[in-house]
Amino acid sequence: MSDLFKEITEKVEKHQPTIVLPEGTDERILEAAAQLGADQVVKPILVGNKEEITAKASEQGIVLGENVQVLDPNNYDEMDAMVEAFVERRKGKETEESARTKLVDVNYFGTMLVYMGKADGLVSGAAHSTGDTVRPALQIIKTQPGIKRTSGVFVMVKEEQKFVFGDCAINIAPNSEELAEIAIATAETAKVFGLDPKVAMLSFSTKGSASSIETKKVSEATKLAQESRPDLVIDGEFQFDAAFVPAVAQKKAPDSPLQGQANVFIFPSLESGNLGYKIAQRLGGYDAIGPILQGLNKPVNDLSRGCNAADVYKLSLITAMQAINQKATTEA
């Protein structure tokens, strides 16, 4: 995993994106922000009362250098402009009064910083639920054109091997259209990590070897994804061995372009995705990096509440990498 983050760091530090960390008084966030600033990899913004944040850092022996910025929602010079932008974005769902109330919330405030171009991405969730982190992003940043839902993936790393598993975090029972969206978004995420995506749509059937509502959903999703993005290598439906083992692929799906060399695996449900990545992690010895949220116009990522400072640091790097990639795609 260290090699992967070495690669990410080398790419990110050339651009030094700005990443918002809304939970500014959390010790883990403070430690990670201080290290990110000291390493001059990204420019961290902590959200909260400056005196409280400084006191908490001092109490923990953490030195927040000059590269770490602190913004207080209760004392923000551009709050009027932020309120106006928020009301406009919510299109009649918020009044000026309700906007001012919501924008005191650190996650809403941090998300608006990203929306307004004051920051490139956001990392939260150390002290908040996934809903608290993702809801403002869906309301304000919103999903990319052609994508109706965000989804969550894990990058599975072991020595020189890298694979991407999705959706393992958000959508409980995606239909065929949603599964196709997830496949395309996951392929794009794989590119961020230097993979040439070869996407396998997983099921308990390979190319019609079994027939049920579940297998037909995956088969239809495969067709939709192929039609939408003919430039990507996407095939299915596959049992895992037919997608991953060349000898099995030769027997079960000899005409598939994957030929048992898939590196992106799309699970048919959250249940199977969650189980799949944990089995690979615990039995296979893979490091599971994520969940990484995808499909948003700008990157927002959700930490586990059981995270440590190293997790915050790494997810900040990943978020910065997503921001760089999205900007390059937009400008292309």
| Among the listed residues 9, 36, 288, the one whose alpha carbon sits nearest the alpha carbon of residue 152 | 288
H/E stretch holding 136 reads: helix 130-136
- Burial, 66: exposed, middle or buried (Cβ in 10 Å; 0-12, 13-18, 19+)? exposed
Does 144-295 match 1-142+297-331 at the fold level? yes
Tokens of 75: 């004392």
- Residue 318 is classified by DSSP as H
Q: What are the residue boundaries of the structural domains of the chain, listed by start?
A: 1-142+297-331, 144-295
Tokens of 208: 């019609």
First CA to last CA across the chain, in angstroms? 30
d(CA 63, CA 31): 8
CA 72-311-25 angle, 5° bins = 25
State residue 172's pLDDT score.
94
CATH numeric code, 1-142+297-331: 3.40.50.10950
Identify whether 237 is preceded by a cis peptide bond (ω within 30 of 0).
yes
CATH superfamily, domain 144-295, is Isocitrate/Isopropylmalate dehydrogenase-like (3.40.50.10750)
- Residue 306 is classified by DSSP as T
DSSP 259-283: TT---EEE-SSHHHHHHHHHHHHHT
Q: How many CB atoms lie within 10 A of CB 3?
A: 11
State residue 332's pLDDT score.
63
Q: What is the pLDDT along the chain (332 residues), one digit of tens a residue?
A: 468 888 899 999 999 999 999 999 999 999 999 999 999 999 999 999 999 999 999 999 999 999 999 999 999 999 999 999 999 999 989 999 999 999 999 999 999 999 999 999 999 998 998 889 989 999 999 998 878 889 999 999 998 899 999 999 899 999 999 999 999 999 999 998 889 999 999 999 999 899 999 999 999 999 999 999 999 999 999 999 999 999 999 999 999 999 999 999 999 999 999 999 999 999 999 988 888 999 999 999 998 888 899 989 999 999 999 999 888 877 76
- Long-range interactions of 279-286: CB distance < 8 A, separation 24+: 280/156, 280/163, 280/165, 281/156, 284/158, 285/158, 286/156, 286/157, 286/158, 286/161, 286/163
Strand partners, 143: 296
